[in-house]
Structure 1
Amino acid sequence: MDKNQQAIALLNEKKYEEAAQLFNDVIEESPNDPLGYINFGNLLMQLNETERAERFFERAVELDEKAATAYYGLGNLYFEKEDYQKASQKFLKAIEQGLEEADAYFMLGMCFRNQEQWKLSLPYLLRATELDSQDESFLFQYGLSLAQVELLDEAQKTFEKVLELDEAHSDAYYNLGVISLFHEKIEEALRYFEKALELQSDHVLAANGKKIALQYMEQFEDK
Structure 2
Amino acid sequence: MDKMTRAIELMQDQQLEEAAKLFTEAIDENPKDPIGYINFGNLLVHLNEMERAERFFNRAIELDEEAATAYYGLGNVYYEQETYTKAQKQYLIAIEKGLDEADVHFMLGMTFIHQEYVKLALPYLLRAVELNADDVDIQFQYGLCLAQNGQIEAAERTMNRVLQLEEQHSDAHYNLGVVALHKEEAQTALEHFNKALEINEEHMLAAHAKAQVEQALSEE
Scaled by the length of structure 2, the TM-score of the pair is 0.95
Give the Cα–Cα distance (whole angstroms) in 1 for the partners of residues 9 and 165 of structure 2. Answer: 30
Deviation digits for residues 38-83 of structure 1 (CA, Å, limit 9, x no counterpart): 1111122222211111111001011111101101111111111011
Give the Cα–Cα distance (whole angstroms) in 2 for the partners of residues 19 and 164 of structure 1. Answer: 36
SS of residue paired to 1:129: helix
Name the structure 2 match of 1:107. Answer: 107
SS of residue paired to 1:78: helix
SS of residue paired to 2:168: coil
Name the structure 1 match of 2:187. Answer: 187
Deviation, 1:126, is 0.9
Give the Cα–Cα distance (whole angstroms) in 2 for the partners of residues 17 and 183 of structure 1. Answer: 53
Deviation digits for residues 122-161 of structure 1 (CA, Å, limit 9, x no counterpart): 1111111111111111111001011111111110111011
Name the structure 1 match of 2:77. Answer: 77
SS of residue paired to 2:219: helix
Give the Cα–Cα distance (whole angstroms) in 1 for the partners of residues 11 and 53 of structure 2. Answer: 15
1:38 aligns with 2:21: no
Residue-pair matches, total: 220
> Equivalent pairs: percent with the same residue?
57
Deviation, 1:104, is 0.9
Give the Cα–Cα distance (whole angstroms) in 2 for the partners of residues 76 and 56 of structure 1. Answer: 13
Deviation, 1:22, is 2.3
SS of residue paired to 1:178: helix
Give the Cα–Cα distance (whole angstroms) in 2 for the partners of residues 90 and 144 of structure 1. Answer: 24
Give the Cα–Cα distance (whole angstroms) in 2 for the partners of residues 83 and 48 of structure 1. Answer: 15
Deviation, 1:176, is 0.8
Report the aligned-residue RMSD: 1.3
Residue 163 of structure 2 aligns with an amino acid whose one-letter code is L
1:177 aligns with 2:182: no
Note the residue ranges of structure 1 that are not aligned, 5 or more in a row: none
Deviation, 1:9, is 2.1
Note the residue ranges of structure 2 that are not aligned, 5 or more in a row: none
Runs of 4+ aligned structure 1 residues displaced above 6 Å come to none
Name the structure 1 match of 2:50. Answer: 50
Give the Cα–Cα distance (whole angstroms) in 2 for the partners of residues 10 and 184 of structure 1. Answer: 52
Give the Cα–Cα distance (whole angstroms) in 2 for the partners of residues 209 and 18 of structure 1. Answer: 48
Deviation, 1:15, is 3.1
Name the structure 1 match of 2:7. Answer: 7
Name the structure 1 match of 2:155. Answer: 155
1:205 aligns with 2:201: no
Deviation digits for residues 99-124 of structure 1 (CA, Å, limit 9, x no counterpart): 11111111111111111111111111
